[in-house]
Structure 1
């Protein structure tokens, strides 16, 4: 493997490593596999997928809080459509092993912070009323019913 290729051109490095691993898989002896970085990149793929699911769940909660805090906003229809899209994307990407890694309380706290950054006086519940399963299965109205009416 060319020295420093991983740092200079990760795409070229990944293509070279994939080729080496395929050759190794076919029984050929190869010596250039960059095992440390290959292992790190494989792990990063999984973490990237986890972060993607967490992002969709966070966005769902932000939009649910917006609907709750500003129920008369002209953006409500748009927010509802986005909640459905975020739910579908999260369901498609969620792998069984991710469930125990998702910290829904932290994601909810982040959503509250995002709402309060735009409106420090926004009245949002301090405690997370959602579970991962509810966010993935319940429709928007059912999820909104878990939030107390904003006053």
Structure 2
């Protein structure tokens, strides 16, 4: 593969010049068990970055789910298919994250307090209700309620 040869050229920093070509070269070097073709430092950073990206996606989806659950409870007169679809979709996507990365299940519980605070602030803005209308802490169990097929009434 030409990108592998380019990577082996002294002084050429393929990682900075063409990220896609660099990823293909790295994959080829690993598949062919060619450690001399692996850009170890950048590969390690990219792998860490992938894990962090998944963690951020989980946090974002959890925040969105909490916000819509709050709106569902505190504005029942405005419930609609859109809110319901968002709640179902967020739960489905969180489940996909857990299937792909089971170790992130514990992370959801760890960040629930922080995500609740952010979701609470966003729910206040979206609903027009004062922040004080929403509890300071999440009143629901993460696994049995928030992430399950449960609907608050």
Which band: TM-score by shorter chain?
0.7 to 0.9
Residue of structure 2 equivalent to 1:128: 138
TM score, norm. by length of structure 2:
0.78
Residue of structure 1 equivalent to 2:85: 81
1:36 matched to 2:22: no
Check the 8 A contact 1:104/1:131 in 2, yes or no: no
Residue of structure 2 equivalent to 1:17: 26
Q: Report the Cα distance in structure 1 between the residues aligned to 2:38 and 2:150, rounded to whole angstroms.
A: 48
Residue of structure 2 equivalent to 1:115: 123
TM score, norm. by length of structure 1:
0.79
Check the 8 A contact 1:58/1:108 in 2, yes or no: yes
Structure with higher helix content: 2
**What stretches of structure 2 of length at least 5 have no aligned partner?**
1-6
**What stretches of structure 1 of length at least 5 have no aligned partner?**
146-151
Q: Deviations over 1:23-70 (max 9, x none)?
A: 11xxxx452311011111112222222222222211111111112222
Q: Report the Cα distance in structure 2 between the residues aligned to 1:130 and 1:9, rounded to whole angstroms.
A: 47
Q: Paired residues, what number?
A: 137
